[in-house]
């Protein structure tokens, strides 16, 4: 007989039965410690894990985690944290689902192309686990809003693809004492580290002063979905350790993984006392971060893309916005709860309820700004 783990009978299954009895998990009637029977059933395969138990599951239920970026890493991180039962998950992203995302961003399907990622993510994650809360935040992380974005959370998990918002997150996490699980991927490689304020190196102790304009991007060099899943899983494992009160493995360690030869290496890190962000004897002030409220991002097929990102959620009346979009002769292709995608000739755009506006196919920044102003009447 083969047990549920696919192992040959006896020890493991008997061990599991014993643990289930110890936990007194009632599969029929009562609801121990705030869990419903369905929740117990849902999480049963991790409750029986030795380092978990009902107590561990309760820690996850009471936790609030902020996942910044709902792209490749974010998709996998969010799926795992949701199905493991982290009680509240804040999802921060300002993008729209595009068809070129689907190769690696497995939260989304073709039916949600054109929707704000946080809206599509919320729909999917609630289907996956109705026992937790999702807090969608349709904003970019900027130096001006980062402290509010991470406020009240127990861990921040990095699903970003550029350094400036990572530095903003690093500084806000240091200031608020929130652990930051860093992760980054490109091509077939990735790295990760767990940054605990006051205890370990911060991001700017070992990867400060990188300029996004000089770094390669996934849209140019590409990225393999397998490295994303691998790194995201490592980030989730670290996050869960923190929530369970266990020491994270990547504290003061920087992990490098490469699919090419399946090598995984760790190098030791140390807090740098002269670090401008976390050091006790900083040699200089932290480098000012460019607050990119209106920027040009990587476009496709030589089409220029401009993004306006307000610091504050503007809570737009989307009914009014949609009327204005139509009155200016644009066709609406997607009308979501948190954003609308439209087009007219070669120009394409999206406006999110937060005020984030993405304009594609115009010739320059001035034209992008003019179109945004006409649509929102600033």
Catalytic residues: 218
CB of 208 to Zn ion, least distance (A): 8
CB 178 within 8 A of CB 184: no
Tokens coding 193: 């580290």
Other residues' Cβ atoms within 10 Å of the Cβ of residue 116: 30
Q: How many residues bind Zn ion (CB under 5 A)?
A: 6
Which range touches Zn ion (CB under 5 A), out of 16-24, 52-60, 194-202, 364-372? 194-202
CB 180 within 8 A of CB 173: yes
DSSP H or E stretch at residue 373: helix 365-376
Binding mask 272-291 vs Zn ion (x if CB under 5 A, - otherwise)? ---x-xx-------------
205 near Zn ion (CB under 5 A): yes
Which range touches Zn ion (CB under 5 A), out of 109-117, 142-150, 204-212, 346-354? 204-212
Q: Where in 217-276 is the site for Zn ion (CB under 5 A)?
A: 275
- Which is nearest to 20 in space by CA: 1, 46, 38, 39? 46
Q: Terminus-to-terminus CA distance in the chain, angstroms?
A: 69
195 near Zn ion (CB under 5 A): no
Query: Any idea what DSSP says for residue 330?
Result: P
Q: By C-beta, is 270 or 298 nearer to Zn ion?
A: 270
CB of 15 to Zn ion, least distance (A): 43
Q: How far is CA 329 from the centre of its chain?
A: 35
63 near Zn ion (CB under 5 A): no
CB of 201 to Zn ion, least distance (A): 6
Q: Which residue is nearest to Zn ion (CB)?
A: 275
Give Cβ neighbours of residue 183 (< 8 Å, ≥ 6 apart).
73, 157, 158, 159, 190, 191, 192, 231, 232, 234, 235
CB of 278 to Zn ion, least distance (A): 3
Q: By C-beta, is 204 or 360 nearer to Zn ion?
A: 204
CB of 177 to Zn ion, least distance (A): 14
Q: Among 149, 173, 184, 202, which residue sits at the site for Zn ion (rule: CB under 5 A)?
A: 202
Q: By C-beta, is 107 or 254 nearer to Zn ion?
A: 254
Q: By C-beta, is 40 or 168 nearer to Zn ion?
A: 168
- What are residue 229's DSSP bridge partners? none
Give the pairing type, strands 189-195 and 180-186: antiparallel
| Cα–Cα distance, 14 to 52 (Å, whole number) | 18
Q: Which chain residues interact with Zn ion by CB under 5 A?
A: 202, 204-205, 275, 277-278
């Amino acid at each position: 007989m083969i047990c549920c783990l696919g192992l040959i009978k006896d020890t493991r299954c008997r061990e599991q039965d014993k643990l289930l009895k110890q936990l007194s998990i009632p599969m029929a009637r009562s609801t121990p410690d705030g869990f419903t029977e369905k929740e117990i059933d849902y999480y049963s395969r991790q409750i029986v894990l030795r380092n978990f138990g009902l107590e561990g599951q309760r820690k996850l239920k009471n936790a609030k985690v902020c996942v910044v970026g709902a792209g490749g890493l974010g998709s996998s991180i969010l799926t795992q944290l949701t199905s493991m039962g982290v009680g509240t998950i804040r999802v921060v992203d300002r993008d729209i689902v595009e068809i070129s995302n689907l190769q690696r961003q497995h939260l989304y399907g073709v039916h949600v192309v054109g929707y704000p990622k946080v809206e599509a993510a919320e729909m999917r994650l609630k289907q996956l686990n109705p026992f937790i809360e999702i807090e969608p935040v349709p904003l970019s992380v900027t130096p001006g809003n980062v402290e509010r974005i991470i406020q009240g959370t127990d861990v921040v998990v990095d699903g970003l693809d550029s350094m400036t918002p990572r530095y903003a997150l690093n500084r806000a996490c240091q200031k608020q004492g929130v652990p930051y699980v860093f992760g980054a991927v490109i091509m077939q490689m990735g790295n990760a580290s767990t940054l605990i304020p006051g205890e370990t190196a911060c991001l700017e102790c070992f990867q400060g002063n990188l300029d996004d304009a000089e770094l390669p991007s996934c849209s140019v060099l590409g990225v393999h979905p397998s490295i994303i899943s691998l790194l995201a899983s490592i980030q989730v494992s670290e996050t869960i350790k923190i929530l369970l009160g266990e020491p994270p493995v990547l504290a003061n360690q920087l992990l490098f993984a490469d699919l090419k030869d399946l090598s995984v290496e760790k190098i030791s890190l140390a807090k740098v006392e002269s670090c401008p962000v976390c050091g006790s004897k900083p040699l200089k002030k932290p480098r000012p971060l460019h607050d990119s409220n209106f920027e040009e991002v990587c476009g496709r097929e030589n089409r220029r893309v401009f993004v306006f990102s307000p610091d504050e959620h503007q809570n737009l009346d989307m009914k009014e916005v949609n009327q204005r979009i139509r009155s200016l002769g644009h066709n609406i292709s997607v009308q979501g709860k948190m954003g609308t995608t439209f087009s007219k000739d070669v120009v394409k755009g999206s406006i999110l309820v937060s005020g984030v506006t993405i304009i594609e196919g115009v010739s320059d920044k001035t034209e992008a700004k003019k179109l945004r102003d006409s649509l929102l009447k600033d």
